[in-house]
Amino acid sequence: MIDFGSGRFAPSPTGDLHVGNLRTALASWLDCRSRGAPWLVRFEDLDQAVATVEAGERQLQQLAALGMEPDVQPLWQSRQPDRYTSPIDSLVASGRTYPCYCSRREIREAIAAAVNAPNGPESGLYPGTCAALGSSERARRAQFRPPALRFRSDQPAVDFHDDNFGAQSFMVDDFVIRRNDGVPAYNLVVVVDDNAAAVGSVVRADDLLSSTARQILVGEALGYPVPRYAHVPLVVNADGVRLSKRDRSITLDDLAADGVSAGEVLERLAVSMGVAAVGERPSAADLVDRWGSVHVTGWRNTWPLVAT
Ligand code: GLU
């Protein structure tokens, strides 16, 4: 058994977990349990406009209802905001950052105008407008808006291996590591927190594959070891679109109201991942020994996941 260290589930506490979130959680939980490694929960609640303690507490109950309990107290990012200061300072000191004064609109316009840019206008990648501003221009722009802080990627593409999806390559722009309201950005905090918790196995949804390229660059610049990545497919609705609040009957409460128990939800998730048979009603613990041989190519990803 390879010792990758801890694994984690890192939801934003903005509402009830839906079956897609729960399946991602189950994949990371099984990854940890099958390796005998600690499983952590980290609440990505730095965006205080949308995150609430109540939502996080409910999410813990929803994980527990399926048999998943974190091995240590969950981390709430907003409760220790200073932990990001020194990593950011060290990136600044090593010249890997620059202040960016662009508004969203300016970025959209610059991307649209960059028809000759190597990445093309469709890429949505930041075209580097503020990368080489002189100090007087910075001072002038600072009068109008506080700057965000961008990481200087210094390379057009990042290649990495994903244990489920194989060889990956993504274009990487100079991305934000601290927002212009001073809040550290997702691509920075996830790397700092994973490293601090000795997370060596990142099992999460595949919508984050391109973010992984950015996170690898930040981690390398901070001198952290690169974790193993194993992304898993999102659960989608009948139209093939990832589940969202607009979809009905996808939280445990909604499903319970429709007569679908937590045990049946767990079974559907397990069947969709190829670790249980229909009608078996396994517990989460029953699935642990079956996890090693699982590969996501055989997963069924359209809710309700099994023929009803
Ligand atoms: N908070 C992210 C999400 O809910 C997950 C972040 C991560 O796993 O790195 O999609």
Q: What is the pLDDT of residues 230-278, one digit of tens each?
A: 999 999 999 999 999 899 999 999 999 999 999 999 999 999 999 999 9
Cα 30 off chain centre by: 18
Residue with token string 């445990």: 252
Query: What does the CA dihedral 72, 73, 77, 78 come to, rounded to 10 degrees?
Result: -170
Q: What is the pLDDT of residue 114?
A: 75
User: Is 150 near ligand 1, meaning CB less than 6 Å away?
Assistant: no
* Residue 279, φ and ψ in degrees, nearest 5: 90, 0
Its sign, for the CA torsion 291, 295, 296, 302, is negative
User: Is 11 near ligand 1, meaning CB less than 6 Å away?
Assistant: yes
Q: State the average pLDDT for the chain.
A: 94
User: Is 66 near ligand 1, meaning CB less than 6 Å away?
Assistant: no
- The token pair at 30 is 């099984």
Answer whether residue 115 shows pLDDT above 70. no
User: Is 10 near ligand 1, meaning CB less than 6 Å away?
Assistant: yes
Report CA(13)–ligand 1 centroid distance (Å). 11
Answer whether residue 30 shows pLDDT above 60. yes
Assign 250 to helix, strand or coil: coil
User: Is 25 near ligand 1, meaning CB less than 6 Å away?
Assistant: no
Mutational pocket test of ligand 1: of 8, 50, 208, the residue with most ligand atoms within 8 Å of the beta carbon: 208
List pLDDT tens digits, range 191-227.
999 999 999 999 999 999 999 999 999 999 999 999 9
Q: What is the pLDDT of residue 124?
A: 80
| Average pLDDT of the residues in 3-21 | 96
Mutational pocket test of ligand 1: of 28, 31, 44, the residue with most ligand atoms within 8 Å of the beta carbon: 44
Q: Which atom of ligand 1 is nearest to the CA of 204?
A: 8
Q: Which atom of ligand 1 is nearest to the CA of 21?
A: 4
User: Is 42 near ligand 1, meaning CB less than 6 Å away?
Assistant: no
Domains by residue range for the chain, with CATH: 1-77+233-308 (3.40.50.620), 85-178 (3.90.800.10)
Q: What is the pTM of this model?
A: 0.95
Q: How is the beta sheet containing 166-171 ordered, strand by strand? A: 75-76, 39-43, 6-9, 199-205, 228-232, 157-162, 166-171
| Average pLDDT of the residues in 1-16 | 92
Distance from the first to the final alpha carbon of the chain: 37
User: Is 190 near ligand 1, meaning CB less than 6 Å away?
Assistant: yes
What is the percent of the chain where pLDDT is above 90?
88
Report CA(195)–ligand 1 centroid distance (Å). 15
CB atoms within 10 A of CB 208: 19
Q: Whose CA is nearest to atom 10 of ligand 1?
A: 11
